[in-house]
Structures are given as C-alpha cells and as structure tokens.
C-alpha cells in the first residue's frame, strides 16, 4: 500500500465539506474521483497535499504516518517531496519561460544543480510534446500547452503520486484532448495518479478505481466498469444520466 487515507473530515464555516472519507492507493493506481460541484472532490485532493488542513483524519504514506489535523512543517515538506499537484488554472509564473517554470521547483525546492535541472526540465517538456516551446512564456502558449507545462513541472520532480485537480476544466474543448493524451501516456507508464475530473471517457479508459462523491462522502466506488455499467446507488445513476453523452448508464463499457 502506497497511501492509506482514513476518516478525513473538513468543515468550512461550520459546514461539513468532507465526512469520514477513506481512500487506499496502490503504486501504479489511477484513481479517478467524480462528482458534482461542491461534493468535496477538490477539497479532499488539497488536504492530501496540505493546501488545505483537514480537521480530522490520518494518512499513511509509504513510511510516514500522519495526523492530517496536526502535522509538522517538516512532515508536510516530506509529503510535498513525494507528491506533485497539477492545478485547474495552470499556476505558471508569467515572467518565466516554460523551461524556467519546470526547473524552478527543482532548483529552489529540491536544491538540484542548474545544469542538471535544465536537463531534467527539457526531458519533461519533451515528454509532454513541448520540445519546441522551451523559451516561450505562458502568454505565448495556448491553454493546453500551459497545462502541459504544468504536467511537465509535476513529472520533473519524479513524485510518488501526482494529484490532478480538474486539469482540463479551464480549457477550450478542442484543447482538452492534448492534455488527456499526455495523462493517458503517464498512466500507461505506471504513474500513480489521483485525478479529479469530469472527463468520463478518460475515466473509463484509464482508471484502475473510480470514486463517486457527493455531499462530502464517498457514495460509491469500484472498478470503472462497475461504476459506469453497473452502478448500485441511485445517486450515482442520476449523476451518470446527467453527464454521460449517451444520456444514461452505459449499456456497453465504452460510452463515447
């Protein structure tokens, strides 16, 4: 077991956003979290990387055992060295090139030498199909290219787990495919990923485990086929009916 997350709770202004959420992650898993807006998906993801502080819960991460509500700065740093976060809105530095955005986390955050960081950064950008965009600034890149820089930044630090928070939600429809292709390639290479997304086809093709959340709880979870073809809970069925292009539960596994 790479990660075991138990009993995560989080409130905002007295409102329960997460209620006893439990997730197990094996090395090489691609866990896709689905659910309507406000279901707690992003908050859960942010708690794993301490971008939000959970009110309760524990996390076993490799050799680390953490109380998510009382975690030292040194333990938070250890977790962040094992993880990388890909944001909805890219979070790139506007005054730095694509290559500089990728290498900054290596040189400033991990004390990698400049020449080594440049080599790693170029390799990461090559991997996401941006070998001709090293010296471009974010304003010179499309949204899809900016998000691919964000993914390159994540893979450059060689994390144990990459956390994706709706990585295609800010993109024009025609740019979504280029980002999903990169993510699918990472999954095929065995990269451990936890992905919050509304991209159903990606979930069907890539997920080793699908979680459906609503109201701060896990309503249903299982293999992709279990969720998309044989959902058990009425709330899951309602969600799929609204969001799947076929207008309901897939009669076949691949719903286009």
pLDDT 10s digits, 144-201:
999 999 999 999 999 999 999 999 999 999 999 999 999 999 999 999 999 999 999 9
Q: First and final CA of the chain: distance in angstroms? A: 33
Dihedral sign computed on CA atoms, order 186, 188, 194, 197: positive
Closest CA to 15 of 43, 50, 48: 43
Number of helical (H) and strand (E) elements in the chain, helices listed first: 9, 10
Q: Does the structure show a pLDDT above 50 at 69?
A: yes
Which residues fall within 8 angstroms of residue 135, CB to CB, at 6 or more apart? 97, 98, 99
Instruction: For residues 212-240, give the mean pLDDT.
Output: 96
Residue 3: what are its φ and ψ, rounded to 5°? -135, 140
Question: Which domains does the chain carry?
Answer: 3-243 (3.40.50.300)
The C-alpha atoms of residue 112 and residue 37 are separated, in whole angstroms, by 39
Q: What is the dihedral of CA 54, 56, 62, 65, to 10 degrees?
A: 120
Instruction: For residues 65-77, give the mean pLDDT.
Output: 97
Q: pTM of this prediction?
A: 0.94
Angle between helices 114-127 and 143-156 (to 10 degrees): 130
Output the pLDDT for position 251: 53
Q: Does the structure show a pLDDT above 70 at 256?
A: no
Instruction: For residues 36-61, give the mean pLDDT.
Output: 97
- Computed over every residue of the chain, the mean pLDDT equals 94
Output the pLDDT for position 231: 95
Output the pLDDT for position 252: 52
The C-alpha atoms of residue 219 and residue 233 are separated, in whole angstroms, by 7
Supply the DSSP string of 19-60, one letter for each residue. Answer: EEEEEEE-TT-EEEEE--TTSSHHHHHHHHTTSS--SEEEEE
Output the pLDDT for position 244: 83
Instruction: For residues 230-253, give the mean pLDDT.
Output: 79
Q: What percent of the chain has pLDDT over 90?
A: 93
Q: Does the structure show a pLDDT above 60 at 249?
A: no
CA angle centred on 238, ends 169 and 234, rounded to 5°: 130
Q: How confident is the model at residue 99 (pLDDT cuts 50, 70, 90)?
A: very high
DSSP-derived 3-state class of residue 111: coil
DSSP bridge partners of 220:
212
The pair of structure tokens assigned to 251 is: 């009669």
Q: Does the structure show a pLDDT above 60 at 204?
A: yes
Q: Does the structure show a pLDDT above 90 at 212?
A: yes
Q: Does the structure show a pLDDT above 80 at 102?
A: yes
- Per residue in 44-56, pLDDT (tens digit) is 999 999 999 999 9
Instruction: For residues 118-146, give the mean pLDDT.
Output: 98
For 65-79, 140-154, 234-248, which range has the lowest pLDDT when averaged over its residues? 234-248
Which has the higher per-residue pLDDT, 250 or 144? 144
């Amino acid at each position: 077991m790479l990660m075991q997350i138990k009993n995560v709770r989080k409130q905002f202004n007295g409102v329960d956003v997460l209620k006893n959420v439990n997730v197990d992650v094996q090395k090489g898993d691609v866990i896709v979290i689905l659910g309507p807006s406000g279901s707690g998906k992003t908050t859960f993801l942010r708690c794993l990387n301490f971008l939000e502080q959970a009110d309760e819960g524990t996390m076993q991460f490799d050799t680390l055992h953490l109380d998510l509500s009382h975690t030292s700065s040194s333990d938070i740093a250890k977790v962040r060295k094992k993880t990388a976060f890909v944001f909805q809105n890219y979070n790139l530095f506007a005054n730095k090139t694509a290559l500089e955005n990728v290498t900054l986390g290596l040189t400033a955050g991990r004390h990698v030498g400049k020449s080594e960081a440049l080599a790693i950064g170029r390799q990461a950008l090559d991997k996401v199909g941006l070998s001709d965009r090293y010296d471009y600034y974010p304003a010179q890149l499309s949204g899809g290219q900016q998000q691919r820089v964000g993914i390159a930044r994540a893979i450059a630090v060689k994390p144990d787990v990459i956390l994706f928070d709706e990585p295609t939600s800010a993109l024009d429809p025609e740019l979504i495919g280029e980002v999903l292709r990169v993510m699918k390639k990472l999954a095929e290479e065995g990269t451990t990923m936890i992905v919050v997304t509304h991209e159903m086809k990606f979930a069907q093709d890539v997920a080793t485990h699908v979680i459906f959340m609503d109201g701060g709880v896990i309503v249903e979870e299982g293999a992709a086929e279990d969720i998309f073809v044989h959902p058990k809970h009425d709330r899951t069925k309602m969600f799929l009916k609204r969001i799947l292009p076929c207008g309901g539960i897939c009669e076949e596994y691949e719903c286009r």
